[in-house]
Structure 1
Amino acid sequence: MTQPFPFSAIVGQDEMKLAMILTAVDPSIGGVLVFGDRGTGKSTAVRALAALLPRITAVEGCPVNAAKPANCPEWAKVTGTRTHDIPTPVVDLPLGASEDRVTGALDIERALVDGEKVFQPGLLASANRGYLYIDEVNLLEDHIVDLLLDVAQSGENVVEREGLSIRHAARFVLVGSGNPEEGELRPQLLDRFGLSVDVASPTDISQRVEVLRRRDAFENDKSAFMVRWQAEDATIREQILTARIALKSLKPDDATLHDVAELCIAMGSDGVRGELALLKAARAYAAYRDDTAISRDHIRAVAPLALRHRLRRDPLDDAGSGARVGRVIETVLG
């Protein structure tokens, strides 16, 4: 298997890397939407982060990567109990994928003739306990995106055909990327992503030179390059694993909840998804930093990620969404 580029070796793109790390700490944040130029490391970051995480234990032959035989669905007809370690799954969803390819398909003819449920699992089954990556998500059909976001939120895929129903676990981190020049996502869909990041090609010459230097070293002497960065990746891995444990003990106080709610109201965020995403992201960031309480500094650091894509359009304000979020943060949090 080809080794992906090391996560810690990615030059710049700090917001994107932070967003990926936060969703690795707490997948319930709701996935990441990355909009920006081509060739800015979007898919590289997804594969690199998944590669640095520990391998997961899965039942041999289970199509949903269940950790225990009891968690493998009946329709899979897995009789063995042996487990093995596999890399954290990273599944690509192509633009032309049909709904059956995504969710899986029931063999209606065999069900009617033989009375047997035969289910061909789809991409959602393969992505369970891993990542589902959609490049050019803004060009994906709306009903497919709706379906993906619903499953990502519920953690379960349900396929119903002709009175038959199949269910299986589908817990994954959804990462969508795209170029805004090729079309925008509907506001309802934007709101369903937990975090959003805008990326751009670096304009600093020294940074671009470093990108070239590292990529050239990776392609010409991969073994030496991987050894060079394995310690940094290991550090990030340990921080993520430690943060996952620390999440349970980080309880927001009333002041934190008040700040989160006030900030979202000032932003004009509809519903409570913005508050929930901001609170979870702030808690994940505090855990990743190994801090013992959630503070305004944590909220301030992740608020642009959680709220910039939830802003209502203002035709009289030429500032970008990041600048608008920054102004509101300074007004509310000081």
Structure 2
Amino acid sequence: MIEKHRKTPIFPFTAIVGQEEMKLALQLNVIDPKIGGVMIMGDRGTGKSTTIRAIADLLPEIEVIKDDPFNSQPLKTDKKETEFIKIPMIDLPLGATEDRVCGTIDIEKALTMGIKAFEPGLLAKANRGILYVDEVNLLDDHLVDILLDSAASGWNTVEREGISIRHPAQFVLVGSGNPEEGELRPQLLDRFGMHAEIRTVKDPSLRVKIVEERTLFDINPEAWIEKYKDEQENLKKTIINAQTLLNTINLSYEDRIKIAQVCSELNVDGLRGDIVINRAAKAYTAFQGKTTVSTSDIEKVVVLCLRHRLRKDPLESIDSGYKVRKVFEEVFLS
């Protein structure tokens, strides 16, 4: 008899070699989803999809109302049956239509039976989880706008023929792409909380290690998952502890002024950069089990939060990350 719903083995997050910037950005976003998601840009075959699936598999299960299409969190007053499920990890395919993403209303049932029959879309399935868009730079701008609006507001509204349905859509938006295949429009890129850049590993010994780890996992995934069980459990506990600590973290007024000064000197449009650095620095502090943000904590996240918000001069060859680091050092360390 074929086993029903057989679980596909997921490569352990703690077994992933290198790509520290991408791993940190993902961890901080699951600690504080209000950071606003992460855009991962880099070469093909660098483990983007593997890492994103691994972080989702690592996270603790969530309690939901049984058979609820939106993975709704039960209230204390609820008498409904509940169950625990893995954090949803939803892939959005490039060819997806707006109906597939947002959901659709059955107009016929609404008109003939007076019932608001709603067919949930990917945004409903991703509620309280992670929504992953590979090659987001090739996705229709209209759909990217919808995703970013839902991620920012936490709600999805579907309107058709005068009928409107609104449901929660709180998720961590993760986009990835290869810059050689086209850049995301600056006004859309700016809406992502963080921007991680990844490159193909050049060190031969590290390349060999990555290939060996993957080969051994493919030969015997169960044994490999067991090998990293303790490390996975420790990281899971660290993330849960950080989520608990988050609201107690102290970021001094002096440091908040300096963060604002960095953004101002870099001519960052709007205040989104300031807000994201504040949130990310607190999340990183909580991740370390501390309660007070230090200069080194801010330094760890500032490039991830700002590199994609700088106005680009096509004639300039200086890396945006270098510019952010230089201004940070002038403001914080001089």
Contact 2:250 2:291 in 1 (8 A): no
Counterpart residue number, 1:77: none
Do residues 144 (structure 1) and 143 (structure 2) align? yes
- Residues 237 and 202 (structure 1), Cα distance of their counterparts in 2 relative to 1, 3 Å cut: same
Select which of 12, 20, 32 maps to 2:18: 12
Identify the range of structure 1 (26-35 vs 163-172) with the bigger mean alpha-carbon deviation.
163-172
CA distance in 1, matches of 2:329, 2:70: 45
Q: Once the 2 structures are TM-superposed, how far is the Cα of residue 250 of structure 1 from its aligned partner?
A: 0.9
**How far 1:105 moved relative to its partner?**
0.1
Whole-angstrom distance in 2 between the partners of 1:265 and 1:311: 11
Aligned equivalents of 2:145 and 2:87: distance in 1?
25
Q: CA RMSD in A?
A: 1.4
Which amino acid in 2 is paired with 1:129? Answer: R
Equivalent residue number for residue 232 of structure 2 = 233
TM normalised by structure 2 equals 0.95
- Separation of aligned partners in 1, 2:282 and 2:8: 34
Listed as ranges, the gaps of 5+ residues in structure 1 are: 73-79
Q: Tell whether 2:47 aligns with 1:41.
A: yes
Q: Which amino acid aligns with 1:14?
A: E
Shift of 1:71: 10
Amino acid at match of 1:92: D
- After superposition, residues 229-308 of structure 1 pair within 5 angstroms as 229-308=228-307
Q: CA deviation at 1:315?
A: 3.4
- In structure 2, the residue matched to 1:57 is 63
CA shift at 1:67, angstroms?
A: 2.1
Deviations 1:123-176 (A, max 9, x none): 000001110000000000001000100000110111111221101111100000
CA contact (8 A) 1:133 1:174 kept: yes
Q: Secondary structure at the match of 1:175?
A: strand
CA drift at 1:268: 1.2
Cα distance, 1:69 vs structure 2: 6.7
| Distance in structure 1 (CA, Å) of the matches to 2:270 and 2:17 | 36
Aligned to 2:3: none
Pairwise CA distance, 1:223: 1.6
Change (3 A) 1:254 1:125: same
Aligned to 2:153: 154
Q: Which residue of 2 aligns with 1:75?
A: none
Contact 1:69 1:81 (8 Å CA) reproduced:
no
Matches of 1:251 and 1:117 in 2, distance apart? Answer: 46
The normalised TM-score by structure 1 is: 0.95
Corresponding position: 1:32 with 2:38? yes
> 1:251: Cα distance to partner?
3.0
Q: Using the alignment, how far apart are the partners of 1:253 and 1:12 within structure 2?
A: 32
- Pairs within 5 Å for 1:195-214: 195-214=194-213
* Secondary structure at the counterpart of residue 132 of structure 1: strand
State whether residues 90 and 132 of structure 1, in contact with CA within 8 Å, keep that contact through their aligned partners in structure 2.
Answer: yes
Note if contact 1:15-1:197 (Cα within 8 Å) is conserved in structure 2.
yes
**Divergent runs of 4+, >3 A:** 69-72
Give 1:258 deviation, angstroms: 0.4
Letter in 2 for 1:61: D
Is the 1:91–1:133 contact (alpha carbons within 8 Å) kept by the matching residues of 2? yes
* Contact kept? 1:59, 1:69, Cα under 8 Å: no
Query: For 1:3, which of 6, 9, 20 is the aligned residue?
Result: 9
* Matched residue count: 327
CA deviation string 1:188-227 (max 9, x = no partner): 0010000001101100001100101100110111121111
Matching residue's letter, 1:33: M
Structure 2: gaps of 5 or more residues? 1-6
